[in-house]
Structure 1
Amino acid sequence: MAQIQNPVLPGFNADPSIIRVDDTYYIANSTFEWFPGVRLHESKDLAHWNLLPSPLSTTNLLDMKGNPSSGGIWAPDLSYSDGKFWLVYTDVKITEGAFKDMTNYLTTAVDIHGPWSEPIKLNGVGFDASLFHDEDGRKYLVQQTWDHREYHHPFDGITLTEFDVSTMKLRPETARTIYKGTHVKLVEGPHLYRVNGYYFLFVAQGGTIFTHQEVVARSKTLEANSFETEPGDPFITNFDTPDSYIQKQGHGGLVSTPEGEWYYASLCARPWNRENESSTDPRGWSTLGRETSIQKVEWDKEGWPRIVGGHGGTTFVEGPKDAIETKAPLHHSQHDDFENDTLDINWNTLRVPFSKKMGQVGNGKLTLVGQGSLANVHDLSLIARRWQTFYFDAETKIKFNPFSYQQMAGLTNYYNDRHWSFAFVTWNEIKGHVIEVGENNRGNYTSYLKDNAIKIPEGTEYVWLRTKVRKETYSYEYSFDGKEFIEIPVYLDAAVLSDDYVVQSYGGFFTGAFVGLAVVDYSGYDVQAEFDYFDYQELGDKLLKDGSYSWEASESRFD
């Protein structure tokens, strides 16, 4: 049997919804403001996973233009019934303040690869909606419920509403609160299952930070307030296991194997600490975002589910006895020569799909048309991919001829519109064509080189840029011949690109760090840049004493 090593989906792969269809497992993850919407993986052994095309790949299914950072797709739910896949997803339009304006949609497909049907609007009652297919053929939408009233708690329990398949609409008159959560509050992320004569409701609580947890409640019926909470400790949490390699476990879903074993897929994180920091406060900085872990589940003598090894989970988990070996990449390095006329499956854009307005790809180059700045949530030309390990190099080759300091093209490490850095080719009044490094930190922009920007020699056609990410810090390099790279003496704090840093200043903190290519021309003259290739080479997750890198995992954050 294959041993499962957590996280099974490294890098930003949050809020997993897991199912099995025959001998194949599928996981759907949140994508928030990144396009295409909903990230899908498949596996036959739960240990090795292959990335599938995203289902929400057109603006008919998803249009997030203008969405705030960390808005968009929250906690999609994937299920299978009646010979087809059902995908429920939420598009959140407001993230700050008293309101969470959102719309829940439903789309279906006979094949996981699509095509997916035109979306059906369900409601806007609350986010984290999931569809439960009962044994009698009836279907129900189960969701967190939002209350904007300042004199109530905003997380107003879990609402269940019957879904009428004949009309493909909800029956709001059937809506009722089936569970209010515990004193921990912030009850969300519901998934409902029927096991051994009970309805089991799995819900997240405590917020998606280090206090995160998952609790389980059960009932013989689906009547209002009929669910009782599992006694004892939470089903899964790392709040009281600060030394564990895996942290933040909670929100997720349950799945059984063909032979009747049980597993739970959960979001998780792998924070790191600086040498001068406490290991508990701050708990750490999760620059890879919220990832996906899988834990084995057993049922106790009272019929409650328990995590094997304790509620903190483990890094290494015994795989299913009936697992079918799955061939999948061991790591996630990527080299793209831009030969195809569509973007590689690893690339993402912000809010809307890649289009001619942004540029074009194919025949050995990527052309990007300059639009708004990297602080723009409406029009910008950026393609990016996830950080999926703590140590990596990423490199590109650029052809760009700016005539204004308002025009920039280069390599970016990006979290959201308020937190990013950018090494770029531009122009200034003193030296002409130059290389600069800028950073946006909590919305405050800093130019690091200023009048000492690196002059690009006259007649230089191409500039090479490279970023070196080294867990706690990262830097940029440049070259004029593609062979000799010179380090730019600017060392940036990687923690700035983490959920844990962003949440200190405002509420949008749900994604993870990306590395990518961008062109800016806020002068409005639509200058273009050509990128010859992009190379992302993972080095490892751990720095060894001899200065090399390895993929060693452990049970402890500090081994």
Structure 2
Amino acid sequence: MPELINPVLTGFNPDPSIVAVGEDYYIATSTFEWFPGVQIHHSKDLVHWRLLTRVLDRVSQLDLRGCQHSGGVWAPCLTYADDQFWLVYTNVRSHGGPVTDSPHFLVTAPDIEGPWSEPVVLGANGFDPSLFHDKGGKKYLVNMQMGSVGAVGVEERFDGITIQEYCHDRKKLVGERIKIWEGTELGVTEGPHIYRKDGWYYLLTAEGGTAFNHAVSVARSRNLTGPYEADPDGPMLTSANRPDLNLKSAGHGDLFQSPDGSWFTVHLCHRPLQKRGVPETAWDQDKVAILGRETGIQRVAWPDGEFPRLADGGNAPSDIVPAPEGPLYPWEDALRDDFNGPVLNPHFQTLREPADESWLSLSRCPGSLSLKGRNSLFSRFDQSLVARRLQHFRAEAETGLVFSPTSPKQEAGLIAYYDRNNYHYLRMAGDGKGGCRVGVVSSDFSPGMERPLITVQNVCDLKPGAKIYLKMMNEHADLRFAWSLNGEEWNWIEQTFDSTNMGDWSSAISGFAGTFWGLCCQDMTGDGIWAEFDCFDYRIPVKETL
């Protein structure tokens, strides 16, 4: 029997929702402030996955201008009914304060690759919406409900699960909104999905918070609106109190069937590292997940009339899981982009806005990516930054840069980025004297710090317009940079930088994403200088093992 190795989607791919259509599986994951929104991965065997598309590719579907870090798209839900795909999602416009502004939207498409419709607004009652298609064609929006304005405790901020009918003909919610579930004693009840099976309605939720106590809980009722009773055996899936597990924070699941009738669940998980330079005192303290929250799959046993449970017993996630019987369908993944085509490599995303020819061009200098310098890295607007997920603990990236800055306020280069306060940036900048300097700018705003700590280490001087090659290499918690004038003889910067100032639990201002590697250009003079990059080559030096 073939086996799948978890996580099946490595790197920042959280809050998975899955749908099986014929012989194909599609997983939708959260993208937060990154554009386009909602990643769709595709598989035909559950073992091999490819990044197929992103759904929300225009501002009319997803307006992220000014979006705070870890805002934007939270926990999309992908379903298939009535010969079309349905996607509901939240665009979180504020969070972490006395209220959360989180409007819900629905888009549909006849094909997973689109075209996707303009969005229907479905209120703003909490977050993590899902769409349940009941018998007779009725549809219901199910989501967690936020508490009253000013609620401070978890019990007050997470106010249970609600349901309300949706009329697609009228493109609106109708009838009464009903609270159907308060949650279990684990609390922080969110991420709901409803399934109808054997005369029961099963309500699956995420609980315990999206960290080490995360879990998947199940309740059921004979009636859609309740009352629901929880599985007396407790969570179906959790990594809580299990320091021996490779997959931590298992939770936020979604059940599905393979064509042979076998049941599975997708779920999110972490693989955290010890914070660099901090001695370990406890298995769940001073940890950082540099890759962010990832997606795993577990087999489920679901006999008629019973609660679903993990097929191998217990409720802990497994690293290796038997896949469905049948042929395997591996995909090729292009990790290098030489910028010779009309579009970017599909792994690339931009911050808060779609790529536009006015600041990102593949035609201005054929065979290069041209980026026009705009705002600083600290801005939540006009970021000329294009990046992809770091998906491996061991990885390298390389580019060639031609840039002619005239001011220290003009910069371009290769960046490892988490948010505007947490990054390492190997860049070229003007020296204010007619020359250029190459060096690393690091920013760290770890939890507990009063303000970001920014350091600059210059390593060489160059003439404007001279081509320079830039490289970075990551080894778990260690990040190193190098530069070259010919792309063959590399000068490694002596200092080793801290990868664990990027990723989940690394930042004082955000906490739901993962590390991105990419290219960027800033021009704080407002002159709009351009930088030319000849490639972006992401490499995996060795195949990672569990």
- Paired residues for 1:90-489 under 5 Å: 90-151=90-151, 153-171=156-174, 173-223=175-225, 225-273=226-274, 276-278=279-281, 280-282=283-285, 284-299=287-302, 303-309=306-312, 310-321=314-325, 323-329=326-332, 334-362=335-363, 363-429=366-432, 432-442=435-445, 444-449=452-457, 452-456=458-462, 458=463, 461-489=466-494
Percent identity of paired positions between Structure 1 and Structure 2? 38
Instruction: Pick one of 483, 493, 499 that aligns with 1:494.
Output: 499
Give the counterpart letter for 2:188 in structure 1: L
C-alpha deviation, 1:516, in angstroms? 0.2
Count residues in correspondence. Answer: 533
Deviation by residue 1:378-397 (Cα, 9 ceiling, x = unmatched): 11100000001001110100
Separation in 2 of the partners of 1:148 and 1:391?
Answer: 45
Q: Does the 8 Å CA contact 2:160/2:182 hold for their aligned counterparts?
A: yes
Give the counterpart letter for 1:425 in structure 2: M
Taking structure 2 as the reference length, the TM-score comes to: 0.94
Deviation by residue 1:32-90 (Cα, 9 ceiling, x = unmatched): 00011000011111111121111111112112111101111000010000000001111
Gaps of 5+ in 2: 446-450
User: Counterpart of 2:501 in 1: which secondary structure?
Assistant: helix
Separation in 2 of the partners of 1:131 and 1:243?
Answer: 36
C-alpha deviation, 1:279, in angstroms? 5.3
Residue equivalent to 1:42: 42
Give the counterpart letter for 2:455 in structure 1: S
Question: Residues 111 and 300 of structure 1: is their aligned pair in 2 closer, same or farther, counting only changes over 3 Å?
Answer: closer
Separation in 2 of the partners of 1:202 and 1:283?
Answer: 31
Which stretch shifts more, 72-81 or 422-431?
Answer: 422-431
Which stretch shifts more, 398-407 or 225-234?
Answer: 225-234
Separation in 2 of the partners of 1:404 and 1:440?
Answer: 21
Separation in 2 of the partners of 1:407 and 1:41?
Answer: 37
User: Counterpart of 1:153 in 2: which secondary structure?
Assistant: helix
Deviation by residue 1:414-452 (Cα, 9 ceiling, x = unmatched): 011121111100122468211021112116242332xx5
C-alpha deviation, 1:295, in angstroms? 0.2
Residue equivalent to 2:32: 32
Q: Does the 8 Å CA contact 1:436/1:447 hold for their aligned counterparts?
A: no
Root-mean-square deviation (CA), in Å? 1.7
Residue equivalent to 1:556: none
The structure 1 segments of at least 4 consecutive aligned residues displaced by more than 6 Å after TM superposition are: none
Residue equivalent to 2:533: 531
Is 1:12 the equivalent of 2:12? yes
Gaps of 5+ in 1: 541-549, 554-559
C-alpha deviation, 1:96, in angstroms? 2.2
Residue equivalent to 1:521: 523
Residue equivalent to 1:552: 545
Give the counterpart letter for 1:216 in structure 2: V
Deviation by residue 1:204-250 (Cα, 9 ceiling, x = unmatched): 01111111111001000022x51111112311110121111111110
C-alpha deviation, 1:99, in angstroms? 1.0
Separation in 1 of the partners of 2:465 and 2:133?
Answer: 62
Residue equivalent to 2:448: none
Which stretch shifts more, 490-499 or 31-40?
Answer: 490-499
Q: Does the 8 Å CA contact 1:12/1:289 hold for their aligned counterparts?
A: yes
C-alpha deviation, 1:150, in angstroms? 3.2
Q: Does the 8 Å CA contact 1:2/1:45 hold for their aligned counterparts?
A: no
Q: Does the 8 Å CA contact 1:333/1:536 hold for their aligned counterparts?
A: no
Residue equivalent to 1:547: none
Separation in 2 of the partners of 1:287 and 1:148?
Answer: 34
Separation in 1 of the partners of 2:197 and 2:429?
Answer: 61
Separation in 2 of the partners of 1:348 and 1:428?
Answer: 30
